[in-house]
Amino acid sequence: MTRTLEWKVGLFLSEEDGTTKARAVLDTGAATLTGRGSAHCNPQDVEVPAIGDELAASRAMSDLARQLMRVADRDLESVGAGPGGGRRRVDGGWADGTM
């Protein structure tokens, strides 16, 4: 079976008063998840907007990734493949009961 899907991620950034905020939105076509992140510039640091953008964006995408993993964990458990189904989570994947 071959499947091809396209999931779209939008990344939105805004900056105000030394704080950069980011919102990462994943649209799977069936569901939407939103991750959020922010970065604050220390008043003693040199202001480099690109660094705040990178930090806030990476934090928003990390938040989004954690949410997506929680959804996958729940879906796995619902089909008996989660921790209650005799398998345990290992480094972002699932190990069989022998590990």
Query: Is 96 a residue whose pLDDT tops 60?
Result: no
Domains and CATH numbers, the chain: 8-80 (3.30.160.240)
DSSP helix/strand/coil, 26: strand
| Under 8 Å between Cβ of 35 and 61 | yes
Mean pLDDT over 38-51 rounds to 89
Query: Is 29 a residue whose pLDDT tops 50?
Result: yes
Residue type, 16: E
> In terms of C-beta density within 10 A (0-12 exposed, 13-18 middle, 19 or more buried), how is residue 35 classed?
buried
Query: Is 80 a residue whose pLDDT tops 70?
Result: yes
pTM over 0.95: no
